[in-house]
Amino acid sequence: MNIVVVGLSHKTATVEIREKVAFAPAHMEKPLRELVALEDIHEGIIVSTCNRVEIYVTTRDIAGGIARIKRFLADYHHIPLETLETHLYSYHGEAAIRHVFRVAASLDSMVVGEPQILGQIKTAYGYAAEYKSSGIILNRFLHKAFSVAKRVRTETKIASSAVSVSFAAVELAKKIFGDLSDKTVMLIGAGEMCELAAKHFLNNGVRGVMVTNRTYEKAVKLAEEFDGKAVNFEELFDHLHRADIILSSTGAPHHIIGPKDVEEVIRRRRQKPMFFIDIAVPRDIDSRVNKVPNVYLYDMDDLQGVVATNLEQRNREAQKAETIIDQEIGQFFKWLSTLDATPTIVALRGKFEEVRRAELEKTLANWKELTPEEQKRLEACTAAIVNKLLHQPTSLLKRAGQGGRTDLYVDALRNLFDLEMAAQQPETEELEELEE
Amino acid sequence: MNALLFKLTMGAYFLATLLYLVYLIKPRPTLGRISHWVISGGFLIHCMFTLDRYLEAGHTPITNLHESLSFFSLAIVGMFIAFERKYKVSILGSFVTPLALVILGISTLFQSAIAPLNPALKSKWLLVHTSMAFFGYAAFAVAFGAAIMYLIQERFLKNKRLGSLYQKLPSLDTLDEINYRCLTFGFPLLTFAIISGAIWAETAWGTYWSWDPKETWSLITWFIYAALLHGRLTTGWRGRRAAILAIIGFFVMLFTFLGVNLLLPGLHSYK
């Protein structure tokens, strides 16, 4: 049995294509049922997020399976197959397993290490389990992917640092102030970057926002948006001491805040720390402000420096994650290969033969009066019994192999007779994690 | 029995220091928890050691340098455990446990046999006066650890060098808060130690204050911490300045404790 992955992601398709191919989360029953109704598709899971749409199936026939899923995706979303096909990738065998492990561990994400993807795959698996489109192989496969993702998360620092300028600013603020819930942000000027950073600060629980702008109306408008307070630009220095975090991005051609101003302000604040973030180019705040005690000034270059360091660290951690995935692929592949019929038949025969030999030798050792001729007949008789007993299960397995439903029998046989490399049950830990 | 308890304490502090230093490199929560339990176990054994010695000697075992240093180390560890529980800052251990270990180590350099009690010390004030002084000192020692961490973290943020230690250290606000809390613990304790000492001196030596070197230096220490507390409450001496003062205060305090005993002859020169 083969695991096959077909899909597209932010790496292969623009958002226009991705949104056309996305599956609505509330209506997963129909596509899942249609998917497993396809010829020679035994189990199926559909993962659909804003950055990727992927289908995981098990099939006997790799090439045929891939073609049928591509056709299914195109038909289901009424897109010509020729348009869609250029954006689709497909994997089978070890590459498919690696791909899914990497996706779950967030190594294939747009922002490497972002944590949402694991939850999204869990949701997708939840639908597949609910509508019974996944079976013994994909169940185990997904459990394995979850535990790999968990290992990557706990053993590497892949998700531990900010990789965007505005997130970096929030993290710096947390290292200065600890708790942000009693802090006030002041926006000086306007600009996309500045507003984005202010939103991040609000999401991280700052108490209030003040907005000032040379055009007072603009300040009022922006203040409304953030549920904050507008301040007259001429009165900036009368209000600055109330702000803990200052985001500045005016279009001014020269500095609007200098070290003398800040010394004055920090005295009024009784030395409570201030964090200035200067996003403007040319800069709004004199770099000497950073020298004032308890004041921290970061400009665009500084923040980008932080992000670059973090990205470097993430890439190093991603290397560690790939090593973890390599180890886990080996284990899973071993289990998958035990589900084939032939090695199971060999192992089953071996087991029976072993028992027959042991018992025969015991009998012959205690039964000395038998002639060599009689011994041979006894030998032949026991061999015939074993062959007769195994005939039915062996031929059933072989026939089932052609039909494609061997995995259930194989799994059962391996458990019943305790055959080598017996399939393990998914660990309870993995199951618990699923229920979270 | 007493010697064994001491060795066990030493072993536990050594192990805890080692664990906290590893934690500095690999800050795993499990490692932090293990370190916490090891230092807590060491603390309990250390308490047993001190109690055992109290029972054996029949008086508060803070009468010579060996006992004082051991008690100082005990107080630092106790204070640290309390702060670690309150602020959940395991990494503080990487800066404070080595200090406790070194102080306990130094205590072995001095005569450890139980000597008959100096008649001047035969008083119920002994327990109150000395334990208050040492718990005050211990609070200042934890403040010293937090102050060093503050200065390191502040340098990282000012110079925009945000390496791995930066990520492991807590926020400036937390460190400043610990520094302040230690001060509000240590300062009243030091004040009461000085007052109780004066009352005791009146009953033992007939005068409240005799400008003995220990008294003089205690007063200097007291003034430094009083200035720091005052500055904090009025003009907002916080952050870097408070951290530097906490470090200076700690060294002056060390001199008050050790330097005076070893270098300056006087009424307090117990060895």
- What is the nearest CA distance from A400 to chain B, expressed in angstroms? 50
| Contact between chains at A175 and B160 (C-beta distance less than 8 A) | no
* B182-192 CB burial, b ≥16 within 10 A, e <16: bbebbbebbeb
Residues in chain B: 271
A272 phi-psi bin (left φ>0, alpha ψ -120 to 50, beta other): beta
Tally Cβ neighbours within 10 Å of residue A143: 19
Where are any strands of DSSP class E within A137-226?
Answer: 184-188, 208-213
Q: Which residue ranges of chain B lie beneath pLDDT 70?
A: 267-271
Whether residues B146 and B66 share a domain: the answer is no
Whether residues B176 and B264 share a domain: the answer is yes
Tokens at residue B103, please?
């102080």
Segment A284-328, tens digit of pLDDT: 999 999 999 999 999 888 988 888 888 888 888 888 899 999 989
Judge whether A161 is closer than 8 Å to chain B, CB to CB. Answer: yes
Please report residues of A whose CB lies closer than 8 A to that of B172.
175-178, 273
* Cα B233 from Cα A221, distance rounded (Å): 39
ipTM: 0.86
pTM of this structure = 0.70
Segment B127-186, tens digit of pLDDT: 889 999 999 999 999 999 999 999 999 999 999 888 788 888 999 999 999 999 999 999
CB-CB: which of B157, B235, B238 is closest to A296?
Answer: B157
Assess whether pLDDT exceeds 80 at residue A375.
yes
* Cα A103 from Cα A109, distance rounded (Å): 7
Q: Which domain holds residue A33?
A: 2-155
CB A113 within 8 A of CB A311: no
Beta bridge pairs of residue A56 = A5, A45
Q: Which domain holds residue B150?
A: 133-271
Residue after which a domain boundary falls, among B84, B117, B150: B117
The pLDDT score that the predictor gives to residue A307 is 86
The pLDDT score that the predictor gives to residue A32 is 95
CB A249 within 8 A of CB A300: no
Residue B122 lies in a domain: no
Sequence-distant (6+) residues with CB within 8 A of A414 are A338, A344, A347, A421, A422, A423
Judge whether B30 is closer than 8 Å to chain A, CB to CB. Answer: no
Judge whether A80 is closer than 8 Å to chain B, CB to CB. Answer: no
pLDDT greater at residue A401 or residue B169: B169
| Contact between chains at A294 and B239 (C-beta distance less than 8 A) | yes
Judge whether A178 is closer than 8 Å to chain B, CB to CB. Answer: yes
Three-state DSSP class for residue A134: coil
Q: Chain A: residue nearest B157 by CA?
A: A296
- What is the nearest CA distance from B174 to chain A, expressed in angstroms? 6
- Domain with residue A26: its CATH number is 3.30.460.30
The pLDDT score that the predictor gives to residue B31 is 92
Whether residues A172 and A142 share a domain: the answer is no
How many domains, in total, are found in chain A? 3
| Contact between chains at A176 and B157 (C-beta distance less than 8 A) | yes
Q: Given pLDDT bands bounded at 50, 70 and 90, which one contains residue A69?
A: very high
Residue A335 lies in a domain: no
Q: Given pLDDT bands bounded at 50, 70 and 90, which one contains residue A193?
A: confident
Whether residues B29 and B137 share a domain: the answer is no
Tokens at residue B60, please?
């508060």
Sequence-distant (6+) residues with CB within 8 A of B191 are B222
Region A156-165: what's the mean pLDDT? 75
Q: Give φ, ψ of A248 to 5 degrees.
A: -120, 130
Segment A88-111, tens digit of pLDDT: 999 998 899 999 999 999 899 887
The pLDDT score that the predictor gives to residue A403 is 55
CB-CB: which of B157, B237, B238 is closest to A175?
Answer: B157
How many domains, in total, are found in chain B? 2
Judge whether A290 is closer than 8 Å to chain B, CB to CB. Answer: yes
- A194 tagged catalytic: no
List A residues 259-288 in contact with B (Cβ-Cβ < 8 A). Answer: 269-273
Assess whether pLDDT exceeds 80 at residue A154.
yes
Segment B217-228, tens digit of pLDDT: 999 999 999 999
| Contact between chains at B171 and A177 (C-beta distance less than 8 A) | yes
- Most confident among A15-19, A394-398, B7-11 (mean pLDDT): B7-11
The angle formed by the CA atoms of residues A383, A388 and A392, to the nearest 5 degrees, is: 140
Judge whether B153 is closer than 8 Å to chain A, CB to CB. Answer: yes
Please report residues of B whose CB lies closer than 8 A to that of A172.
157
Residue B126 lies in a domain: no
